[in-house]
Amino acid sequence: MIARVLIDGPSELVFDYAIPPDLPVEAGCRVRIPIRQKTSSGTVLSVIPPPEQSQFAMREVQSLIEPEPLITPILLKVARWISDYYGSSIESVIRSILPEAVRTEDNSAKTRRIATACENPDPAEIEKLVKRAPRQHAILTLLLATENRTLPTTDLGEGSAATLKSLATKGLIKISTEEIRRNPEAAEEIIPSTPLTLNNQQQEAFEAINASLANLSEPQPPFLLLGVTGSGKTEVYLQSAQAALDLDKTVLVLVPEIALTPQTVRRFKARFSHLTDQVAVLHSNLSQGERFDEWHRIRKGTARIVIGARSAVFAPLPDLGLIIIDEEHESTYKQENIPRYQARDVAVLRAAFEPCAIVLGSATPSLESWQNTLSGKYKVLRLDKRADAHSMPLVRVIDMRLEKQKQKGQVAILSDRLRTALEQRLEKGEQSILFLNRRGFARSLQCHSCGYVCECPHCAVALTYHRTDERLVCHVCGHQSIVPRKCPECKNPGIAFQGYGTQKVEEVLQKVLPEARFARIDADAMRRKNALKDILKKFKSNKIDILIGTQMIAKGLHFPNVTLVGILNADLGLHIPDFRAGERTFQLITQVAGRAGRGELEGEVIVQTYTPHSPSIQFARKHDFDGYAEQEMEMRRQFSFPPFAHCGVLTARSTHERRAEFTLQTLHLRLKENLPPGITLGEVLPSPLIRSHDQFRFQITLRSHKARPLSKHVQAILQKTSLPEDVIVVFDMDAYNFS
């Protein structure tokens, strides 16, 4: 037989090698192979029959790096599907499944020598040592007094090798090698938690998931756990995970972003703290060695619960019983770089292949998942009330157009109502969260006289003023420049700020509530390591009164003393050219509002907006997902947008504007020839972000009720067309980003 091998390294080479008769090479194995004069390493993609007749003597696989395949047949199948569906090369997908740290042999497991005293040594023997060999006696006594009678040899003092050897010869101790785990979580303190008694709806949901777990010999329909914020979804996840473990199965938990969901991660750790070594958390900031160890602990089945973000969907868990996807609507599940994929959809596919049970949870499900429940593909499980019997927070909508008139045309940042509410919370010693989806001090710098706006020289966006370092910063490419004192265009000194950001809010608060203690959470403030953790800890222990933040604080945070949430400019996200703008705004407001009143105290939410009647705001105000979904779905159906069609975006970019546009026009012509039925081909248009990182961008949007024909057609045309070297063309299937 022949092994088709993907060679390690950036060049994505695939070569065939003959398999020597005595070498058990399977698909998914890591192998050493000869390339020219050298030995290289690679991954076996498939094992295939030899060609009928071949002119060349094929070179042979030299050896196996690991005795067993590192990629399971199911993950290989998943890889092929991703490559096919999203048009990513199989090489790029395999690279995500086998992370760099695992492919590099230098990271292999660390071992150490340990000494173990024998059980019940003869007291006479010990007595003899006291005089003749006091060092041996000291070491033996130390070991006997230690738990398991074992210590690493390095803990037994310098130059103890000879002493240990003598003890071993006498049969008093045994020296052996032990694998040590580089444990990234070692320093963390966790308080164990016990299961809560489930309420009726939680119990129903739990039983449905349990029934699925009991019936894994057949593929089970995915569950959509639709529960309002604070309804106890996490408790259902925890008990379902336990049920899967009880069946000797493993559990995969996906969260939108590890750093932004510290509380969810802690709750899993707390519930399964008695299984210390069985929980693995896959952070993006693990060292290569840690990643290597965690990966192998997972593959061997030692770690039985894996928590991670998007790429953890490839975690090599054996005997997978349950996949949980928390906040399934989050766009972070979409990978925007190569290989492009949507981790939620890949997880659903993996669950079908395994087969295992899968639960997608959210208070504001994506309309894609919602449509799947309406069509009967997914089963919905509902939690309609908050678990702790408290009511949902009261949401007030403030019309900022009126507020602007009151404040004589000035941009109002805090309405009277919100300011009063903040004062009341301060008096009562309760906490508040202020949410603004924009970092920086002010949005942009604009000349009042000629209208000139300071823009990024590389991207078609206005620069944002950052007060702390007195700079204008591009939020697309990071370009920084100094703040001009007068208009660069007409030299008028009347250049002023438009809009505002989190830093400006901080400044206003300092003025109106000088006695309040506040902290800011946004990407700028969080550049320091552990900054987020530190602030959340302080907030939890009531050392901060008001937390100001961007969407970084919208997810999964639970602070019982927060009774007020203010959303400063709720319509910021509404006016971008993206059909999901309304859906995102609804999700964001509902999620942020859900941070209020999560303890004994009742919560209040104040939403400031310039478009108080927009459905996103009105339905979020009533916590009404069904109502929102119904009216939004009607619109999507009418215009054939997802979830009623699949939508792919073909983008061309180049430093040469004309060449980018021309390339896309050529592709448009070819796509149009023999266009399969059912596909709507859009025109070549400039992207909303027409210039970014010095490159001009154009795009074509394609839509189709069936995904496969669309994906296939575009890929076939891309393969047949040779592109100019200085134009980059990208196809994004099921796109989430239309800028």
Q: Which residues contact ligand ADP by CB under 6 A?
A: 196-199, 202, 227, 229-235, 387-388, 558
For residue 311, how far is the Cα from the chain centroid?
Answer: 7
Amino acid letter, residue 220: Q
Which of ligand ADP, Zn ion, none does 474 bind, CB closer than 5 to 8 A by kind?
Answer: Zn ion
Which of Zn ion, ligand ADP, none does 477 bind, CB closer than 5 to 8 A by kind?
Answer: Zn ion
Which one, of 134, 112, 119, 113, lies nearest residue 172 by Cα?
119
Q: Which residue, 41 or 591, has its beta carbon nearer to ligand ADP?
A: 591
Smallest gap, in angstroms, from Cβ of residue 686 to Zn ion? 17
Which of Zn ion, ligand ADP, none does 266 bind, CB closer than 5 to 8 A by kind?
Answer: none
Helix residue ranges per DSSP H, 594-649 = 615-621, 625-638
Which one, of 143, 267, 739, 721, lies nearest residue 475 by Cα?
739
Q: Which residue, 325 or 456, has its beta carbon nearer to Zn ion?
A: 456
Smallest gap, in angstroms, from Cβ of residue 281 to ligand ADP? 18
Q: Which residue, 61 or 456, has its beta carbon nearer to Zn ion?
A: 456
Query: Are 369 and 633 spatial neighbours (Cβ–Cβ below 8 Å)?
Result: no
| Cα gap 500→464, rounded to integer Å | 9
Name the burial class of residue 347, with classes exposed (0-12), middle (13-18) and buried (19+) by CB atoms within 10 angstroms of its CB. Answer: buried
Q: Which residue, 388 or 624, has its beta carbon nearer to ligand ADP?
A: 388
Smallest gap, in angstroms, from Cβ of residue 418 to ligand ADP? 25
Q: Which residue, 174 or 458, has its beta carbon nearer to Zn ion?
A: 458
Q: What is the largest CA-CA distance in the chain?
A: 100
Pairing of strands 546-549, 431-435: parallel
Contacting Zn ion (CB under 5 A), which of 14, 133, 270, 476?
476
Smallest gap, in angstroms, from Cβ of residue 432 to ligand ADP? 19
| Cα gap 455→445, rounded to integer Å | 9
| Cα gap 556→268, rounded to integer Å | 13
Report phi then psi at 472, rounded to 5: -100, 130
Which of ligand ADP, Zn ion, none does 229 bind, CB closer than 5 to 8 A by kind?
Answer: ligand ADP
Smallest gap, in angstroms, from Cβ of residue 192 to Zn ion? 48
Which of Zn ion, ligand ADP, none does 233 bind, CB closer than 5 to 8 A by kind?
Answer: ligand ADP
Which of Zn ion, ligand ADP, none does 476 bind, CB closer than 5 to 8 A by kind?
Answer: Zn ion
Which of Zn ion, ligand ADP, none does 130 bind, CB closer than 5 to 8 A by kind?
Answer: none
Where b means 16+ CB within 10 Å and e means fewer, 167-188 reads beebebbeeeeeeebbebeeee
Query: Are 281 and 214 spatial neighbours (Cβ–Cβ below 8 Å)?
Result: no
Site size for Zn ion (CB under 5 A): 7
The secondary element (H helix, E strand) that includes residue 240 is helix 233-246
Which of Zn ion, ligand ADP, none does 703 bind, CB closer than 5 to 8 A by kind?
Answer: none
| Cα gap 573→588, rounded to integer Å | 9
DSSP-assigned beta bridge partners for residue 445: 497
Amino acid letter, residue 456: C
Q: Which residue, 237 or 341, has its beta carbon nearer to ligand ADP?
A: 237
Sign of the alpha-carbon torsion through 273, 276, 281, 285: positive
Which of ligand ADP, Zn ion, none does 459 bind, CB closer than 5 to 8 A by kind?
Answer: Zn ion
Smallest gap, in angstroms, from Cβ of residue 351 to ligand ADP? 21
Residue 17: both structure tokens together: 């090698």
Q: Which residue, 134 or 560, has its beta carbon nearer to ligand ADP?
A: 560
Smallest gap, in angstroms, from Cβ of residue 227 to ligand ADP? 5
| Cα gap 422→430, rounded to integer Å | 9
Contacting Zn ion (CB under 5 A), which of 23, 477, 675, 716?
477
Q: Where are the strands (E) in 448-508, listed by range?
A: 464-466, 471-473, 480-481, 495-498
Q: Which residue, 80 or 558, has its beta carbon nearer to ligand ADP?
A: 558
Q: Which residue, 266 or 458, has its beta carbon nearer to ligand ADP?
A: 266
**Which window, 51-59, 159-167, 473-481, 710-718, contacts Zn ion (CB under 5 A)?**
473-481
The CA distances from residue 538 to 190, 269, 356, 517, 534, in Å, are 17, 21, 40, 11, 6
Report 429-468 residues binding Zn ion (CB under 5 A): 456, 458-459
Smallest gap, in angstroms, from Cβ of residue 37 to Zn ion? 46
Q: Determine, following the binding rule CB under 5 A, whether residue 479 of this chain makes contact with Zn ion.
A: yes
Smallest gap, in angstroms, from Cβ of residue 594 to ligand ADP? 7
Smallest gap, in angstroms, from Cβ of residue 479 to Zn ion? 4
The CA distances from residue 551 to 272, 311, 437, 504, in Å, are 29, 21, 6, 17
Which of ligand ADP, Zn ion, none does 456 bind, CB closer than 5 to 8 A by kind?
Answer: Zn ion
Smallest gap, in angstroms, from Cβ of residue 312 to ligand ADP? 19
Which of ligand ADP, Zn ion, none does 723 bind, CB closer than 5 to 8 A by kind?
Answer: none
Which of ligand ADP, Zn ion, none does 198 bind, CB closer than 5 to 8 A by kind?
Answer: ligand ADP
Which of ligand ADP, Zn ion, none does 270 bind, CB closer than 5 to 8 A by kind?
Answer: none
| Cα gap 176→152, rounded to integer Å | 10
| Cα gap 714→700, rounded to integer Å | 11
Residue 341: both structure tokens together: 């994929």
The CA distances from residue 185 to 266, 280, 310, 531, 691, in Å, are 11, 9, 20, 18, 43
Q: Which residue, 28 or 230, has its beta carbon nearer to ligand ADP?
A: 230
Task: Reduce the DSSP state of residue 552 to 3 states and report it.
Answer: helix
Residue 502: both structure tokens together: 């989190």
Q: Determine, following the binding rule CB under 5 A, whether residue 690 of this chain makes contact with Zn ion.
A: no
Smallest gap, in angstroms, from Cβ of residue 556 to ligand ADP? 7
Residue 168: both structure tokens together: 């071993």
Give the per-residue contact string, 120-159, with Zn ion (x = CB under 5 A; - = no): ----------------------------------------
Q: Determine, following the binding rule CB under 5 A, whether residue 723 of this chain makes contact with Zn ion.
A: no
Smallest gap, in angstroms, from Cβ of residue 571 to Zn ion? 25
Q: Which residue, 202 or 704, has its beta carbon nearer to ligand ADP?
A: 202
Q: Determine, following the binding rule CB under 5 A, whether residue 474 of this chain makes contact with Zn ion.
A: yes
| Cα gap 152→156, rounded to integer Å | 7
Query: Are 254 and 325 spatial neighbours (Cβ–Cβ below 8 Å)?
Result: yes
Q: Which residue, 120 or 541, has its beta carbon nearer to ligand ADP?
A: 541
Smallest gap, in angstroms, from Cβ of residue 735 to Zn ion? 22
Report phi then psi at 461, rounded to 5: -135, 155
Q: Which residue, 599 or 709, has its beta carbon nearer to ligand ADP?
A: 599
Name the burial class of residue 588, with classes exposed (0-12), middle (13-18) and buried (19+) by CB atoms within 10 angstroms of its CB. Answer: buried
Pairing of strands 646-654, 695-704: antiparallel
Which of Zn ion, ligand ADP, none does 4 bind, CB closer than 5 to 8 A by kind?
Answer: none
Which of Zn ion, ligand ADP, none does 202 bind, CB closer than 5 to 8 A by kind?
Answer: ligand ADP
Smallest gap, in angstroms, from Cβ of residue 444 to Zn ion? 13
Q: Which residue, 236 or 650, has its beta carbon nearer to ligand ADP?
A: 236
Q: How far apart are the first and last CA of the chain?
A: 48
Binding site for Zn ion (CB under 5 A): 456, 458-459, 474, 476-477, 479
